[in-house]
Amino acid sequence: MAIDTMRPCGDYRTSYRADQTIFDTRLTFAFIVGGIILLALAPLVLSNYYLSLMIQIGYLGIAALGLNILVGFSGQISIGHAVFFGFGGFASAFLAEHGVPVPIAIVLAGLWTTAVGLLFGLPATRVKGLYLAIATLAAQFILQDFFVRAAWFTGGSSGAVAAPFTILGFDMSGDTRYFYVVLVFVVVMYLFAANLMRTRDGRALIAVRDHYLSAEMMGVNLAKYRTMAFGISSFYAGIGGALYAHYIGYMSVEGLDILFSIQFLAMIIIGGLGSIMGSLLGTIFMVLLPELTGALAGILQGSAIDRALHLKDGITYMREMLIGATIILFLIFEPDGLAHRWKQIKAYWKLYPFSY
């Protein structure tokens, strides 16, 4: 019987504890720890430009993970993720302005966004699928409008200033230092999610996705878990947004539009629905995509293609088209995303050269 485990042969577990680890083998664990250490050393060698890309991957990756918990793990849909990201940013800026220390403000902003997310998640107890999609679309527009009008909270159309991140009086702003703040948040938030998915409530979320009728017969309260998924998703979005606000130092309603929400969906589709690491892979892909198109446009500069398409002026439109094309290509050729592709690569090397 073929069992899809990547455990090397002869590696037998002698305790349930050893069998329930997040990282299947000691080598994967070593790679993850080594990877984090390497990342911690990154600011010593990398330029600010690359660090800013990685910070971007960090806060977007946290928010994308939230959406993946909602869409990939609990089988629901949201096309308003960007406004929860935005709400977290505004909430944290607002709290920091009213004297709350920034690290605490970020966490509180996450909780505040959770409350808002739960409110907008209430329709999920009644409707599914397309209808739920429309309900979340309503959240997108209602909150976007709220951001413009609630000047006391968001500074209206001029935006809100977000205080720089300081911890115990130590200034952590600037790419080199803020990188560590984001790294810590990413590690903690991803560990939380990995733990959640191997315990009671995480399993219940997946059960609701896979077969809600039998989940209910197994004692899972459908309404509770469907709403809870929205809460968790908003918490992650809120934390991501708050990290963004204190990184940029400024939060504005611009850019929190539906396109940004769709980009979050693109990240998790490309990365892999229902995969924790996939959320990060998809975010990396989406953050690097514009870099790639920029580089490509640079290479093609002056060529026939450039002259025909006016690459320099059209680059932003090209980018959006490329995002759309990528989503479609992934849906057709790799619907399980990059995470699945990565698994297959691992399986190939594990069995090489006898892959039968």
Partner 1 sequence: MSTGKRPGASIADSSLLNVDGISLRFGGLKALSNVGFSVRSGELFSVIGPNGAGKTSLLNCISGRYSPQEGRIAFDGQDITRLKPNKRAAAGIGRTFQNLALFHHMSVLDNIMVGRHHLLKNNLFTGAIYWIGGAQKEELEHRKAVEDVIDFLEIQHVRKATAGTLSYGLRKRVELARAVALQPKLILLDEPMAGMNLEEKEDMARYIVDLNEEWGMTIIMIEHDMGVVMDISHRVMVLDFGRKIAEGLPAEVLANPNVRKAYLGEEDLVVEDGPVLQAVSA
Residues that bind partner 1 (CB under 8 A): 1-5, 16-17, 19-20, 192-193, 195-196, 198-204, 206-207, 209-211, 213-222, 228, 232, 274
Within 10 A of 335 (CB to CB), how many other CB atoms are there? 11
Looking at beta carbons only, is 43 or 274 nearer to partner 1? 274
Looking at beta carbons only, is 100 or 194 nearer to partner 1? 194
Nearest approach in angstroms of CB 228 to partner 1 is 7
CA 336/CA 326 separation, integer angstroms: 14
Looking at beta carbons only, is 18 or 36 nearer to partner 1? 18
Nearest approach in angstroms of CB 191 to partner 1 is 8
Query: In 62-194, where do the E strands start and end?
Result: 160-161, 166-167, 170-171
Nearest approach in angstroms of CB 4 to partner 1 is 6
- What is the rounded end-to-end Cα distance, in angstroms, of the chain? 13
Is residue 46 within 8 Å of 63, Cβ to Cβ? no
146 HSE (CA, 13 A, CB side): 14
Looking at beta carbons only, is 77 or 284 nearer to partner 1? 77
CA 253/CA 232 separation, integer angstroms: 23
- In Å, how far are 18, 74, 339, 348, 355 from 352, measured between CA atoms? 27, 35, 20, 6, 6
Q: DSSP character for 3?
A: -
Looking at beta carbons only, is 106 or 228 nearer to partner 1? 228
Is residue 279 within 8 Å of 196, Cβ to Cβ? no
Nearest approach in angstroms of CB 214 to partner 1 is 4
Nearest approach in angstroms of CB 27 to partner 1 is 18
Nearest approach in angstroms of CB 312 to partner 1 is 45
DSSP symbols for 296-323: HHHHTTTSHHHHHHTHHHHHHHHHHHHH
Looking at beta carbons only, is 211 or 312 nearer to partner 1? 211
Dihedral, 190, 79, 119, 125 alpha carbons, nearest 10: -90
Nearest approach in angstroms of CB 270 to partner 1 is 19
Looking at beta carbons only, is 165 or 190 nearer to partner 1? 190
CA 274/CA 334 separation, integer angstroms: 14
Looking at beta carbons only, is 130 or 213 nearer to partner 1? 213
Q: Which residues pair with 230 in a beta bridge?
A: none
Nearest approach in angstroms of CB 207 to partner 1 is 5
Burial class (CB in 10 A: 0-12, 13-18, 19+), 337: buried
- Give residues with Cβ within 8 angstroms of 25, minimum separation 6: 6, 7, 8, 11
